[in-house]
Amino acid sequence: MSNVSSLPDTSPANSVAGDALPDSWLDTLVGYALRRAQLKVFQHLVGNLAEHDLRPAQFTAMVIIDNEPGLMQADLARQLAIEPPQLVPLLNKLESRGLAQRVRGVQDKRAYGVFLTKAGIALLGQLKAIAVASDEAATAALDDDERNQLLRLLHKVNG
């Protein structure tokens, strides 16, 4: 598969450079600028993940599971900001590919912990490298200080 994504091209016709005035009233809104930037960043990542038949939510779940092996499904759903029923098809996909497994809880037989398999751990290493390269490509217009400042500001907005 190619790196081409079906996401819309978010590059403005007359790009705003440096201290140039915004092209429209929408360009003065932080939320609008964040969404356009998010689309641009995802264009890079989505195409690369698609080569591995994965979507960003599945990649994110794998990272979270890797950080917290045995995490309960309900807690994983909370960290992904989705409802638990929405998590089921995501985990089904990871399990069917042999990347993750659910293990019944010892104390609560109704609860399942989620673990990455050896194959999942190996693939995640590759995916993290892809994510870093995609992130760097999407933010190539920024120098290191600007990129770090952007990350600090985004973390501040996220609270």
Residue burial 90-102, b: 16+ Cβ < 10 Å; e: rest: bbebbeebebbbb
Write down the pTM of the prediction.
Answer: 0.78
* Residues 6+ positions from 43 with CB-CB distance below 8 Å: 5, 7, 9, 10, 138
pLDDT digits (tens, 9 = 90+) for 23-66: 789 988 999 999 999 998 888 899 889 999 999 999 999 999 99
Domains of the chain: 25-158 (1.10.10.10)
Task: Say yes or no to pLDDT of 10 above 80.
Answer: no
**Placement of tokens 């929408």 in the chain:** 26
Percent of the chain with pLDDT over 90: 67
